[in-house]
Amino acid sequence: MESIYYVMCWACHRRCRHCYEDRFRPYVRNELAGVLAQAKANFPRVFDHLPERMTYLDRNDPAPDGSLPEKTSRIILSGGEALLDPVRQEVTYPVIEQLAARYAGRGGIKIIVQTTGDLLTERILDDLLSRGIYMISVASLDNFHVGLEGEAKQAAFKERLTRMFEAAGMHASGLAHTKRNWHEEDGPLYSFFGASPESWIGKIWPRGRGWLNDLSKATLDDNFCNRWSGGLGFLEHGFNGSEVSIEPDGAVYPCCIKTKRPLGNLVEESLVEILDSLKDEPAFQAINAGAPARMGLAHGWSEADFVERSKTLTPAGRPYQNLCIGCDAFHEDVLGPVLEGARARRFARRATLAPA
Clarify whether residues 156 and 286 are in a common domain.
no
Structure confidence at residue 356 (pLDDT): 64
Give the SS3 label for residue 42.
Answer: helix
The mean per-residue pLDDT over the stretch 206-216 comes to 97
Clarify whether residues 149 and 65 are in a common domain.
yes
Clarify whether residues 332 and 206 are in a common domain.
no
Spatial contact of 306 and 205, defined as CB atoms under 8 Å apart: no
Give the domain extent around 326: 282-353
CATH at residue 187:
3.20.20
Q: Summarize pLDDT for 218-236 with one digit per residue, the tens.
A: 999 999 999 878 999 999 9
Clarify whether residues 346 and 232 are in a common domain.
no
* 146, pLDDT greater than 70: yes
Q: Is residue 277 part of a domain?
A: no
Q: Is residue 67 part of a domain?
A: yes
Q: Is residue 273 part of a domain?
A: no
Structure confidence at residue 69 (pLDDT): 96
Which of 268, 301, 333 is where one domain is finished? Answer: 268
Q: Is residue 275 part of a domain?
A: no
Which of 216, 242, 268 is where one domain is finished? Answer: 268
Indicate if the alpha-carbon torsion angle 229, 233, 234, 239 is positive or negative. Answer: negative
* 177, pLDDT greater than 60: no
Which of 216, 238, 268 is where one domain is finished? Answer: 268
Q: Which of the 8 DSSP states describes residue 69?
A: P
Clarify whether residues 91 and 234 are in a common domain.
yes
Spatial contact of 42 and 113, defined as CB atoms under 8 Å apart: no
Question: How many CB atoms sit inside 10 A of residue 282's CB?
Answer: 13
Long-range contacts: 308-313, Cβ < 8 Å, 24+?
310/220
Structure confidence at residue 199 (pLDDT): 83
Q: Is residue 120 part of a domain?
A: yes
Whole-number Å distance between alpha carbons of 299 and 297: 5
Q: Is residue 238 part of a domain?
A: yes
Clarify whether residues 191 and 325 are in a common domain.
no
pLDDT grade for 22, boundaries at 50, 70 and 90:
very high
Q: Is residue 209 part of a domain?
A: yes
Q: Is residue 276 part of a domain?
A: no
Give Cβ neighbours of residue 285 (< 8 Å, ≥ 6 apart): 235, 279
* 85, pLDDT greater than 80: yes
The mean per-residue pLDDT over the stretch 291-313 comes to 98
pLDDT grade for 179, boundaries at 50, 70 and 90:
low
Structure confidence at residue 174 (pLDDT): 84
Structure confidence at residue 354 (pLDDT): 76
pLDDT grade for 352, boundaries at 50, 70 and 90:
confident
Clarify whether residues 153 and 222 are in a common domain.
yes
- 76 φ, ψ to 5°? -100, 115
